[in-house]
Amino acid sequence: LTVSIIIAEASLELVPNELQNHPSVRHEALRRNKSVSKILLDRSLHHSAMLRLENSEKRGRPDLVHMTLLQITCAPIFLNGKINAYVHTVNNEVMELENAVRIPKSYFRFQGLMEKLLAGGRSITEGKNLISLSKMTLPRLVQSIGARKVIGFSRLGQKKPLELIAEENIGAENVALVVGGFAKGTFSNETSSVLDCKYSISNYSLDSHVVCARVLYEFEKKILR
């Protein structure tokens, strides 16, 4: 059994070209002594710059990606090497987190790490472990993982208890679990196209980090004992 978890369409990216002249962006770059092309797009700082940005509801929330990655990488199932974790961003950049990678708990340090990775365009080492970056669409990622079954999580999916979802798929050969890495909106058509099924685990619209924590725990209970 190979299980992968994919944070899809994650709202993590550097400030795009067309916004680099905006005062809020220039101000932040100046304050942090960084180039305007090497800082993360962040809605809490660049809200006014983002008003006319395409697909803007799925962009500029690196804080959500941070919380979600902490949930994943601190979970026993990940520490045990029983699950592979990937971040696929709104810009079709894919990060593969090597097992045991330590994501900084401090947002300030996470921000620096992501800026270095995205601006450098390849891979970086955090502690002894690597996060590698490549340009890839979600369908390509699913193909490269070799997933035979792709399960999407969405409030709009079929309502099903998580325990049952884990139970039903634990015998699968290679399964990928897909959770959205954005604050608002639903999966794009491209993302939906790779999903074999979509399940809802609550009537609430939950944050990605909560969904990931619960999904991982249910699979962990089946896998680690």
Residues lying near ligand SAM in the complex (CB under 6 A) are found at: 153-155, 179-180, 182-184, 186, 200-202, 204-208, 211
Q: How far is the CB of 78 from ligand SAM (least distance, A)?
A: 18
167 vs 207 by CB, closer to ligand SAM: 207
25 vs 71 by CB, closer to ligand SAM: 71
Q: Is the dihedral of CA 206, 212, 215, 221 positive or negative?
A: negative
β-strands 123-126, 129-135 pairing: antiparallel
Q: How far is the CB of 86 from ligand SAM (least distance, A)?
A: 14
39 vs 147 by CB, closer to ligand SAM: 147
Q: How far is the CB of 194 from ligand SAM (least distance, A)?
A: 13
Radius of gyration of the chain (CA): 17
9 vs 42 by CB, closer to ligand SAM: 9
Return contacts of 185-189, CB within 8 angstroms, 24+ apart: 185/57, 185/58, 186/154, 186/156, 187/8, 187/9, 187/152, 187/154, 188/9
Q: How far is the CB of 151 from ligand SAM (least distance, A)?
A: 10
116 vs 184 by CB, closer to ligand SAM: 184
Distance CA 14, CA 215 (A): 29
| Strands, E assignment, the chain | 2-10, 84-89, 93-97, 123-126, 129-135, 149-159, 174-180, 197-200
Q: How far is the CB of 190 from ligand SAM (least distance, A)?
A: 14
